[in-house]
């Protein structure tokens, strides 16, 4: 039951819509609509936080400046540009 809500929350957090099959199963869950909605909103909030943390980590890794240094002596060449 919670697996369905988790899958839907992951899709929503990534900017996609839940599938029709997922929505039908969600509506058919044996609980009141308020309970379903509360669980779903809670799961979405958690997954969005995870997605934002992952995106921030990726951006941080991309922005890291690396100082490259040459090891050894330069090799002369006769390439003409």
Percentage with pLDDT > 70 across the chain: 94
DSSP track, 37-53: HHHHHHHHHHHHHHHHH
Q: What is the mean pLDDT of residues 28-49?
A: 94
Q: What is the mean pLDDT of residues 42-54?
A: 95
The pLDDT value recorded for residue 63 is: 76
pLDDT tens for each residue of 8-31: 999 999 999 999 999 999 999 999
Q: What are the distances in angstroms from CA 55 to CA 13, 46, 61, 81? A: 12, 14, 10, 41
Measured over the CA atoms of residue 69, residue 73, residue 75 and residue 81, the dihedral's sign is positive
Of the two residues 78 and 41, the one the predictor is more confident about is 41
Q: Residue 31 and residue 65: Cα distance in Å, rounded? A: 52
């Amino acid at each position: 039951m919670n697996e369905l809500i988790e899958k839907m929350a992951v899709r929503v957090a990534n900017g996609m819509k839940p599938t029709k099959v997922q929505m039908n199963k969600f509506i058919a869950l044996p609980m009141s609509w308020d309970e379903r909605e509360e669980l779903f909103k809670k799961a979405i909030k958690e997954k969005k936080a995870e997605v934002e943390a992952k995106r921030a980590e990726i951006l941080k890794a991309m922005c890291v400046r690396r100082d490259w240094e040459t090891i050894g002596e330069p090799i002369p060449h006769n390439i003409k540009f």
